[in-house]
Structure 1
Amino acid sequence: MALKSTIYKTTIHLSDMDRHYYDTLNLTIAQHPSETMLRMSARILAYILNADPALVFGKGVSDEDEPALWAQTLTEEVTLWIELGQPDEKRIKRASNKAEAMIIYGYHSPFDVWWQQQEKKLTLLKNVQIERFDYQALAEFSTLIERTTEIQASIQDGQLWLTIGEKSLLIEHQTLQSIRQ
């Protein structure tokens, strides 16, 4: 018998002052049996940082043809493709050719080694942005996620502040490569 996904319901009260985007997001997140809490937490953070009515969770772990998150137009053109971790070069090239923009969020220590190995190749791709979450902040955030969680999220001057219950934390993220026009 196959293991089933664990369902999490998260309400996010988002104030993104940098993009002038304010919304209450009611997310239902399926955690694949092979997905760690750390990766699922990174998906939530990527969603918060890129919140948009068109942004949806992809099948990600269970489907090679879909990313962790993506946004499409009504004509199914991919405007944003978001990957987590350390995708292989073939996957990055395929996704960057399909999408107007691609963002890769790294979130654990082997990511630095991966980035050193991939940097020269990825700088050739103009529509690919590389971000790295602070591992300690992400790990702390992942311990606060429950099956039903309410989050206050505030983004200003590139800083992401989260409040869950009585706990507030700053989620640091560093841009290693920006999308070039």
Structure 2
Amino acid sequence: MSDGQPTVLIVDDEPDLADLYAAWLADSYDVRTAYGGEDGIEAADEDVDVALIDRLMPDTSGDEVLSAIRAAGYGCRVAMVTAVEPDFDIIEMGFDDYLVKPVRREELRDAVKQLLSRSEYDAQLREYYALVSKRAALETQKSERELEGSDAYAELCEEIEELSGKLDETTAEFTTEDFERALQELEDD
């Protein structure tokens, strides 16, 4: 993130379309545009929060850009934004959303917002499980009296409660598809 705004990378070999998407998002996000697959691979880094990738591009396809992003270990969310109707080959692909062109402004903005919510949820969920694991370890090794006398344990429990509330707030924004994807990701871990 730069300037506190999430970074969105748009990869499309049609400059006018990439620039249009960038204009639609520029008021809320730090936007990078890449006019082709190779440029998209070069523009991707650990600062990118969401990548919007056209699937059909000459030379380096969107599928190859996606593979390069995943191989590099970047944790960004990826939406394929393409004129290619989805087929069964998408089942094994590591993207988070699939938008079929033409895409309307609100549809694109909503997709980015949902992808960012899922990223926030993933980070919160990882932190929550880490805290709950610490609490469980303490509860199996310490007496109830020791736990009740520990300020650190009380703070840990408060942190867990607070994070639980944040998780509830984040999931309140989820659609059915978001829940399905989150469950799939948990199963894949």
Compare the two structures and name the one with the higher strand fraction: 1
Whichever structure has more helix as a proportion of its residues is 2
Q: Indicate the structure (1 or 2) with the bigger Cα radius of gyration.
A: 2
Structure number with the bigger relative contact order (C-alpha 8 A, sep ≥ 6) is: 1
Normalising by the residue count of structure 1, what TM-score does the alignment of the two structures yield? 0.38
